[in-house]
Amino acid sequence: MNARTGGGLLVAGTTSDAGKSVVTAGICRWLSRQGLSVAPFKAQNMSLNSFVTRDGAEIGRAQAMQAAAAGVEPSALMNPVLLKPGGDRTSQVVLMGKAVGEMSARGYFGSGTGDGRLGRREDLLETVVGCLEELRRTHDAVICEGAGSPAEINLRRSDIVNMGLARACRLPVVVVGDIDRGGVFASLFGTTALLAPEDQELLAGYLINKFRGDVSLLEPGLEMLRGLTGRPTLGVLPFRHGLGIDEEDGLRLSLRGAVRESSLAPPLGADVLRIAVLPVPLMSNFTDVDALAAEPGVVVRFSDRPEELADADLVVVPGTRGTVKALEWLRARGLAEALVRRAAEGRPVLGICGGYQLLGERIEDEVESRAGTVEGLGLLPVRVRFAPDKTLARPEGVALGETVEGYEIHHGVAGVEGGEPFLTGTDGRPLDGCRVGTVRGTHWHGSLESDGFRRAFLRQVAAEAGRDFVPAPDTCFAALREEQLDLLGDLIGEHADTAALLRLIEKGAPVGLPFVGPGAP
């Protein structure tokens, strides 16, 4: 394989959260270790967890993670279409890294998108195929991730991310099934049997994910599945804790009491530091708290009841795609009152992006919620006006005497009318955010991944909370992320048939794969 052959593979799944993202990342890391130039790709992603590339394009955070696994710089080519839900029926459409409009699900998945800036489904397919082919021209291999299930027969005609992409680019397909959910054999067989004959020609095998126990007990089922479908299982990946890095949404984390992959390592001081994260509606970029959870002695928990905040040393209000909706949710649950009470008592609060906006005095929104002027919580002297154009940036600055980097993704423009700047430039000029007492806010996602700043921030929070907590001096978040990505590569290298995967990537699906009835209606 070389740069001129540009092999490819599509990793599909029987369901959402089957493990497509981590399997794709694992294959990327394993291939990179073999000395190959590899890139990830997801034609269409639906996620509130996004990232900004160095040239100012917004893509799914999972694709940025997969690019890190591959050892390449992320770009808009890797995720040309990003859908950011704004409610049950609408999403913001981000095309080639830039927001181009709001669409209903019916409008987007219909025969045409209904928006001149988006064009027809055929135009979107042409765009994503062009991006994939560009990546294949510049890399030895491109590992593509599907979305949801390829057997969503109600959406097949408009599909540009699963079998629609595979057929357009003649990609071999491997389907991942999550055995932890149960019914994995039925899911794999049913997925195959609901595909049209032309799609089944490309489905070359299966991967079983999240297995616990003795693999030998599974082998009779694997043989029967091969007998029924004519397709092999190319690996049984064992269940591993802590591999759900940079998930595409925070649905499963929004449950009350969910712990965000806390290291639960013992603290250096006498006390642990307890951090409560509010699972606001349309929560976005919840990965901001991952760096906090990686610190020894820090316990990060999602909490949605006022009484659960009583023993929290810090409350984090994360980003959200619906600032006004999140504000209403906080008030309805009594959490707004709890935050105001915390601020009056001098107890730490941190708002990030949308969470920062709702801590201010007033929000003028004719863009996101179109609610007009709404009163905020009044904890920071900030007035927010939503602009039609989205701010996308990769800023750098200084805070608490430490260098800090982050990324910005927001429509809200903050007018700060008091307090202290939270983040400044090297020359001391204000860059972003606001602080009044123990209440802080910033638009910068990812700032807590800067090790020196995170440690300084935690020391300050501990002092304000009266905790004998000492941040570990050697926690390197970037190194921890690399270790996680290496674990994904190990998972593929040790438990998947890598020789078979390489053959698929280089040569495509085998000729003559049998048809499994009844096929798509």
By CB atoms closer than 10 A (0-12, 13-18, 19+), residue 436 is middle
- Among the listed residues 215, 267, 206, the one whose alpha carbon sits nearest the alpha carbon of residue 238: 215
The token pair at 72 is 């390449």
| Residues 346 and 437 sit within 8 Å (Cβ to Cβ) | yes
pLDDT digit string (tens) for 90-145? 899 999 999 998 887 666 665 444 444 555 677 899 999 999 999 999 999 999 99
Rounded CA-CA distance 492/505 in Å is: 15
What's the average model confidence in pLDDT over 266-271?
Answer: 86
**Residue 367: half-sphere exposure toward Cβ, Cα within 13 Å:** 19
pLDDT over 70 (residue 478): yes
* Pairing between β-strand 233-238 and β-strand 203-211 as defined by DSSP bridges: parallel
User: Tokens at residue 147, please?
Assistant: 């979305």
| Segment 368-388, tens digit of pLDDT | 999 999 999 999 999 999 999
Residues of the chain above pLDDT 70, percent: 91
Options 139, 410, 411, 445, the catalytic residue: 445
**What is the spatial distance between Cα 73 and Cα 59, in angstroms, rounded to a whole number?**
12
What pLDDT sits at residue 244?
Answer: 60
Task: Return the domain boundaries, the chain.
Answer: 7-232+497-507, 273-478
**Integer Rg of the chain from CA:** 24
Query: Domain 273-478 sits in which CATH superfamily?
Result: Class I glutamine amidotransferase (GATase) domain (3.40.50.880)
Closest-CA residue to 354 (of 285, 418, 419, 454): 285
Angle subtended at Cα 445 by Cα 388 and Cα 358, rounded to the nearest 5 degrees: 60
What pLDDT shows up at residue 196?
Answer: 97
To the query of whether residue 353 is one of the catalytic residues in this protein, the response is: yes
Mean pLDDT in residue range 208-226: 96
Structural element, H or E, at residue 377 = none
Q: In this structure, how many other beta carbons lie within 10 angstroms of the beta carbon of residue 257? A: 10
Q: Look over the chain and give the mean of its residue pLDDT values, rounded to a whole number.
A: 92
Range with lowest mean pLDDT among 170-184, 415-429, 452-466? 415-429
CATH class of 7-232+497-507: alpha beta
411 belongs to the catalytic site: no
Catalytic residue among 353, 411, 434, 443: 353
Per-residue pLDDT reduced to its tens digit, 298-348: 999 999 999 999 999 999 999 999 999 999 999 999 999 999 999 999 999
User: Three-state SS for 403?
Assistant: strand
- Within this chain, domains 7-232+497-507 and 273-478 share the same CATH topology: yes
Q: For residue 246, what pLDDT band results from cuts at 50, 70 and 90?
A: low
